[in-house]
Amino acid sequence: MLEKCEADIARFTAEINAIRNYDETIRKRKSRIKQSIDLIDDIIKDGAISDEHLRMLVDVILISEVNNEQSIEIVMKANFQNCLNMYDENGELTDGVFLPEDFL
């Protein structure tokens, strides 16, 4: 009986710690998302994307060519990095996925 109680206490303690970590993770994500939303709100308020806005949003643009096919990869600084969109040669969106945060 005592062993069962101790096992239950250990399990509940582990669950409580996991919830605390989860709560902290959510707060951090909300803070990062808020910064990105504020930046987008500034862009919308200004009515145009300035060079300064682009520098705050984009980390690097990689352009490559393989077998006469060009590829452009835009690496964002803002917290939009868990979204991956694929476009065809006409610039039409063909596919999009959300990646796990720890993927990148």
pLDDT at 104: 46
pTM of the model: 0.40
* CB proximity list for 30: less than 8 A, separation 6 or greater: none
pLDDT at 101: 58
Rounded Cα distance between 59 and 38, Å, is 18
> Are 94 and 86 spatial neighbours (Cβ–Cβ below 8 Å)?
yes
Domain extent listing, the chain: 1-48, 49-99
Average pLDDT of adjacent 10-residue blocks, the chain of 104 residues? 85 82 77 79 81 82 88 76 72 73 52
> Are 1 and 19 spatial neighbours (Cβ–Cβ below 8 Å)?
no
Rounded Cα distance between 95 and 101, Å, is 19
